[in-house]
Amino acid sequence: GNSVTQMEGPVTLSEEAFLTINCTYTATGYPSLFWYVQYPGEGLQLLLKATKADDKGSNKGFEATYRKETTSFHLEKGSVQVSDSAVYFCALARDDKIIFGKGTRLHILP
């Protein structure tokens, strides 16, 4: 079946550190892939997306590349800020449903 596996948190980094949150997926066909973010006290919102292999989604300094050969969609940011502290969810869309990973909580220390 379709599933998403992402690294467990919490992840704690210092400000300006490099961030990677790993995400791999299992799916039939060619799903679209997403990263959603949930800031403290706020609702879930789309961070970035990629709809086909080798696409790179980017937003707010975050990037993720759709790697079909490794079935991965790792989230990266070159220099994190305190304001990036949130829970990040990797997700795939298939047959009109979105399947979410369990989320990774990110803490950025000043």
Residues of the shown chain interacting with another protein in the complex, contacts defined by CB under 8 A = 29-32, 34, 42-46, 49, 51, 89, 93-103
Q: How far is the CB of 78 from another protein (least distance, A)?
A: 26
* Cα 96 from Cα 39, distance rounded (Å): 25
Q: How far is the CB of 16 from another protein (least distance, A)?
A: 28
Q: Is the Cβ of residue 45 or residue 79 nearer to another protein in the bound state?
A: 45
* Cα 90 from Cα 100, distance rounded (Å): 6
Contact between 73 and 32 (Cβ < 8 Å):
no
Q: How far is the CB of 76 from another protein (least distance, A)?
A: 21
